[in-house]
Amino acid sequence: MTTKRWTTRNSAGVARARLLGAAGIAVAVAGCSDASARRSADGTVRLAEPEAVFDQALSVVQTVREMPDGRVLVADPLGQVLLLVDMDAGAADTLGTVGEGPDEYRQPDAVWALPDDRTLLVDLGNTRLTEVSPELEFGETRPYVLGNPMQGSMVMAIPQAVDGEGRVYARSMGGMSSLQSDSAYVLRMDLEAETIDSVARVKIPGTTRTGTANSESISQIPLSPADAWGVADDGRIVVVRVADYHVEWISPDGSTLRGPPVEYERLSIGTPEKEAWRDSRSETGGGMSISAFADGSGSIQFSVSRGGPSSDNEDLDSYSWPDDLPPFYGSRVPVDPSGRAWVRTYGGADAPPVYDVFGASGEREIVVELLPGRRVVGFGEGKAYLVRMDEYGLQYVERYALP
């Protein structure tokens, strides 16, 4: 294993603060005078100062994986680096190097916890999943493109979630005909047993189609309503339905618990909202591109990468837009260790980031407001990990006490 030490100033320190519990009870933590979270008169919990900040600028962070000793693994696909970060010390080691061989990666895109303290690394550039041992040694790899695309059976097993048994969850995709559908399947994959089954059906964003049958272009409609979903450690799937904004929990046995609809304010889409959507694409480095080509032997080879151009001069009026903002982001729903689903909601262009947090009953338990420019990327034991994106698109990992 190749490592390189980074150090950085920890501006937030390791101060701990008091939290307001879900029932409004103050939980005191000795030796601190400032609040890291506070409850407003309307019941909203506002996360204020982080416990710790890793001040090294990163390009893209989508997940973090907290290790048993409290350090965190962070993958940055555009920076082409996998880091083991000590948030309290403000230091990090670089694991592995850029390449195609053992202990190497092209675009380390995400990290997920596996059983027995192992980690699953998504190596986007090398189109493979790599298992990392508890000792942080790189081990077995397997492709994440499964099936035969020529027969319409391709599965792109890029995880959107991994449960406590190590099963991978991803959204279905296939031949061009599937793009005509307004829905997709949530697939559960046991990579060891090499089995795949569908566990939910979700609405996907709308698309526009231009061109001819021989040369057709398909584009996603920005801010079009779509379901969101995630997976708890125990294998329960949470699906957030956009039709009337309610949460469904689907148990491993297939039974479904449906929560009540959530009221929300309908907000019109104007120029500020369009510009906010354009700027938010920097969170994922401009999105993901997938290309396929024949290798001469009859097989199809794939190239997957993250990162794409974004310009302030983009003609936003050239897109098709809905009239109103959807109630929530149609993206991955992170689930915390206590089994609560964090649903990122839409507000006006200048509104702070807000998450509706739903319990196992499907009821909304709390509303959490973040400081500007933040989003949730993962959880640890009693911790929430957020990423702050600055005006230049650079990203920084922060740690908070979990409300």
Please write the tens of the pLDDT for every residue from 241-265: 999 999 999 999 999 999 999 999 9
Q: How confident is the model at residue 157 (pLDDT cuts 50, 70, 90)?
A: confident
Please write the tens of the pLDDT for every residue from 275-294: 999 988 888 877 666 655 55
Which of 129-133, 280-284, 352-356 has the least mean pLDDT? 280-284
Across residues 185-190, what is the average pLDDT?
94
Integer angstrom CA distances of residue 36 from 33, 196, 256, 275: 10, 42, 36, 31
Alpha-carbon distance of 206 to 223, in angstroms, equals 9
Q: What pLDDT is recorded for position 149?
A: 52
Cβ–Cβ under 8 Å, residues 330 and 242: yes
Across residues 108-117, what is the average pLDDT?
97
> Reduced to 3 states, what is the DSSP secondary structure of residue 17?
coil
Helix (H) or strand (E) holding 80: none
Half-sphere exposure of 41 (CA within 13 A, CB side): 0
CB atoms within 10 A of CB 131: 17
35-45 per-residue burial string, b: 16 or more CB within 10 A, e: under 16: bbbbbeeeeeb
* Backbone φ, ψ for residue 161 (5° rounding): -165, 160
Q: What pLDDT is recorded for position 368?
A: 97
Contacts of residues 379-385 at CB distance under 8 Å and 24 or more positions apart, as own/partner, are 379/66, 379/334, 379/336, 379/337, 380/66, 380/70, 380/72, 380/337, 381/66, 381/337, 382/337, 383/51, 383/66, 384/47, 384/336, 385/64, 385/66, 385/72
Q: How confident is the model at residue 2 (pLDDT cuts 50, 70, 90)?
A: low
